[in-house]
Structure 1
């Protein structure tokens, strides 16, 4: 396991969120989810969509919803799910909220590394797709997001997601260079992210969880007791 540095400063968190500009988001589905996931991370987007199809509930919270690609395509257990989207980036909320307007989602501007302040809201499921690798700081700090969100999950509810890991996974030929470049450009903050550290963080918090890998990506499903 890797040692953690100091918690990220507030300006680091803001800078990390700001990377996802309107231009980046416009290309995200085709480039990142279409090409990069499959050819560089060796984890095609159908793997993440399967998580949503299986675990997204009738009342769902998504942290860092990106472009809303998976929420737009997944099979909810009801035709009118209650959706809440939380992100620090207003452009992300604007794009995803518009894409999912048919569900009338509630949008919150939130830093997931801080208490979420969602009041009395309770959810059947929480999605964290490709969230952790975007957050600055070490795994010990990133995984405080689980502490912040679990109080809003009903007993028996699921927290699920995925993250690109730098260590403890089987990388394809192009992944190491891609990781080096994306971390240098501060698009990702996962140069020290290790599968063992993520496993330890989940084990310390939850009695029932599953963690597995597909290429460079760690995928997880937690059942909240």
Structure 2
């Protein structure tokens, strides 16, 4: 249901970013030594899995999601981590050539420094020669009718906390922890890459 509703209906029709555009991001940046933070359904990892994977670390607070995605990938390289991106002590200690955080940031509590803390922890997971990549729905975008309705519902239920999220603050948080930051807009979605983590 996640694949059908979020990736193939909501993302293109409400947010303006297709699954093909997100797939291109994975095709370009997914490496043999990868960490996926907020695993979703594992759709993109399953679609663009690599034969040369040495490690795929799945990082999520939900054990059921981790179990489902690890079964979907069917590779012995998978390592599951029940962890919270806001709590560095729960995260694996190693660094990865690629780190994916797709549709994660808009779900984080906007009070306090949660989004900044998450990006700081994502930088800690990224190798010196690695790349962080992902996408997030921005609250300040020009949403269409469906997007506005879903924004109200998702923020009211706590699924999202992104009404104040904008491209400038995303760029600011990423630039505080990475030397190189690139953001592309797909209407309400910011697709980002960051490399050269600042230690």
TM-score (norm 1): 0.81
Question: Does 1:107 find its partner at 2:113?
Answer: no
Residue 81 of structure 1, CA deviation: 4.0
Aligned to 2:100: 127
Q: Shift of residue 108 of structure 1? A: 0.5
5 Å-filtered alignment, 1:12-161, equals 27-74=1-48, 76=50, 78-115=51-88, 116-119=90-93, 121-138=94-111, 140-161=113-134
Q: Counting strand residues as a fraction of each chain, which structure ranks higher?
A: 2
Q: Which string of whole-angstrom CA distances, capped at 9 and with x for unpartnered residues, describes residues 70-100 of structure 1?
A: 0001154x43341000000112111111111
Structure 2 counterpart of 1:162 = 135
User: Structure 1 runs of 4+ off > 4 angstroms?
Assistant: none
TM, length-normalised to structure 2: 0.91
Q: How much does 1:153 deviate?
A: 2.2
Aligned length: 196
Determine the C-alpha separation between the residues in 2 that align with 1:45 and 1:192: 25
SS at match of 2:176: helix
Q: Provide the residue aligned with 1:209 in structure 2.
A: 181
1:52 touches 1:75 (CA, 8 Å); kept in 2? Answer: no
**Contact 1:83–1:103 (CA<8 Å) still a contact in 2?**
no
- Once the two structures are TM-superposed, the CA of residue 139 in structure 1 deviates from its matched residue by 8.0
For residue 138 of structure 1, report the CA deviation from its aligned partner.
4.1
Gaps of 5+ in 1: 1-26
Greater alpha carbon shift after TM alignment, 155-164 vs 79-88: 79-88
- The structure-2 alpha-carbon separation of the partners of 1:97 and 1:203, relative to structure 1 and needing over 3 Å to count, comes to same
Root-mean-square deviation (CA, aligned residues, Å) is 1.7
SS in 2 for 1:102: coil
Aligned 8 A contact 1:158 1:221 in 2? yes
Q: Residues 139 and 216 from structure 1, CA distance in 2 versus in 1: closer, same or farther, beyond 3 angstroms?
A: farther
Structure-to-structure mapping, 1:179-190, within 5 angstroms:
179-190=151-162
My pick for the range that moved more, 188-197 or 59-68, is 188-197
Shift of 1:101: 2.4
Deviation at 1:210, TM superposition (A): 0.1
Pairwise CA distance, 1:103: 4.2
